[in-house]
Structure 1
Amino acid sequence: MMLADKVAIVTGASRGIGRSIANTLAENGASLAIVGTNLKLLNEVCSDVEKMGRECLVFAGDVTNPETAEEVSKKTIGHFGKIDILVNNAGINMRSATLDVELEDWHHVVDVNLNGNFYFSKAVLSHMVERGCGKIVNVSSSTAKSGHKNAAPSYGASKAGVDYLTRHLALEMARYNINVNGVSPGPIETDMIKQWSDDYFEKVTSNVPLKRLGTPKNVADVVLFLASSMSDFLTGETINVNGGTYMN
């Protein structure tokens, strides 16, 4: 029970990596506040968490609205009395080439992937500062570090912004004993793979040095490490979880 008696907020928790993060934190003792746009799926995750004997609050809301972050923070503190961990996982991708990107789509991706992280971080940080402790984990992407022709430019740019935000908050909040780190997934086996042809799947897999795709649980386990006391002397880092496709 690495997170016994801890309280965590997880955004984008309804499916894929976010759902696995929520389940993994709960398995290790954390009570949760989960955020997403699909209430049905969120309630399914909440049911799984409660079956483990943990408490779970559900918030169906848009992370691009700063009022959502404020509401989730206040109600989580009101119910549990504290927030120990924030996992900024909510994110979207689009696959338009630069000359085809609509400005509305550019702004929407940046709003979800970068601004949403900032809103939620800002909403919990005053509470964490008062308590003199806290863990924030931002979910980035290997696309932030290397161009990817299968992603819209807004996706890589927004995730690069997440990487910088991680470093900036880590430096600024270190004196309050708040750790801010990130995880950078590469090719992960999620529902999106159902859209891939067999040839494309083989091509992606063959380019991974470990010759396989990662799983949401692979990412969730690194988030668990960063959310736990095992990472107490680690801050400002973003850990690659990509089978070796990008190394630094």
Structure 2
Amino acid sequence: MDFKDHFHGKGVVITGAAGLFGLGLAQTFAAAGARICVTDRDQDALDQLLAELDVPGSMAVAADLTSTPDMLALIGTVGRAWGAPDIVINNAAIYPSHFMLDMQIEDWDRMMDVNFRAPFVLTQGFAKQMIADGRKGSVINIGSGASRKMRLTAAPYCISKTALDRLTKGMAQELAQFGIRVNALEPGFSAGSSVSKLSQEHVDRVTRAIPLGRVTSMDDIGPAAMYLASDFASYVTGTTLTVDGGNSIGTLDVFQDKKTPL
């Protein structure tokens, strides 16, 4: 499937662009000729990424997704530059590890702000721009299989992703009349986040339990995101595309002695 002509000149906003998946998504859409607005908290990292992307019309806008003024400023900057984006990817998220009895209220609020509130604020703001500009845009929320299965010490994160899943469906229903599609993309397990560091022992244990036997890469996520954002998915909205090597259908870490079929 060749997306080169499909995204040429399109405007794509990507939050959490300095992170593992955000960086890969920015590179994927830039390689297809899209203009990119990369946003994260670190302006220096964004400026470096923007120089590497080297796509005319792209921009780097630092924003704290716990700050309403920052998010409104981001929306305004994009609107003034592009009129409206064609594609919005709500990728930024944090993965705190807490027992809920121990978690500080401030940590809960920050996680919900980044993982759930920010996608609402940004989708609302950019959707209004799309409607005013007559654009049939696409919004992609980066979800997680954690939305369907609780994880001890990660229950707050699971809850935030469950909320994001319902936001995806609610926004899809409301924005359908304007031709704006809203979907979720669920990547599988991938190590390497600078925000949520994992031990090698943990990485190895989780990887062994994945049916297809490896972690998720950008070669998996990039094409999936491009599909959801493209006209190939023009009749797809309110759905979740899971790209996790089968990890969400079951686990390989508990089984009986008989390890092969037949």
TM-score, normalised on structure 1? 0.92
After TM superposition, the structure 1 = structure 2 runs for residues 26-37 of structure 1, keeping only pairs within 5 Å, are: 26-37=30-41
- Give, in whole Å, the separation in 2 of the partners of 1:181 and 1:204: 27
Is it true that 1:141 corresponds to 2:141 in the alignment? no
Match of 1:172 among 171, 174, 179: 174
Distance 1:45 1:233, change over 3 A: same
Secondary structure, aligned partner of 2:101: helix
How far is 1:198 from its partner?
3.8
Match of 1:86 among 76, 85, 88: 88
1:244 aligns with 246
**Contact map agreement 2:94 2:195 (CA 8 A) in 1:** no
2:227 aligns with 225
**Contact map agreement 2:95 2:196 (CA 8 A) in 1:** no
Match of 1:42 among 29, 46, 54: 46
How far is 1:116 from its partner?
0.5
How far is 1:31 from its partner?
0.3
Secondary structure, aligned partner of 1:63: coil
Distance 1:146 1:199, change over 3 A: same
How far is 1:216 from its partner?
3.5
Is it true that 1:19 corresponds to 2:23 in the alignment? yes
Q: Calculate percent identity across the aligned residue pairs.
A: 26
- Superposed CA deviations along residues 95-115 of structure 1, whole A, max 9, x for unmatched, are 011221111111110011000
How far is 1:243 from its partner?
0.9
Distance 1:208 1:5, change over 3 A: same
1:154 aligns with 156
Structure ranking higher in helix proportion = 1
After TM superposition, the structure 1 = structure 2 runs for residues 50-129 of structure 1, keeping only pairs within 5 Å, are: 50=54, 53-129=55-131
- Superposed CA deviations along residues 174-205 of structure 1, whole A, max 9, x for unmatched, are 11110100111221132359944443222111
Larger Rg belongs to? 2
**Contact map agreement 1:240 1:247 (CA 8 A) in 2:** no
**Contact map agreement 2:83 2:129 (CA 8 A) in 1:** no
Unaligned runs of 5+ in 2: 251-262
**Contact map agreement 2:94 2:196 (CA 8 A) in 1:** no
Secondary structure, aligned partner of 1:191: coil
**Contact map agreement 2:86 2:135 (CA 8 A) in 1:** no
Secondary structure, aligned partner of 2:249: coil
Secondary structure, aligned partner of 1:98: coil
Aligned residues: 245
* C-alpha RMSD over aligned residues: 1.9
Unaligned runs of 5+ in 1: none
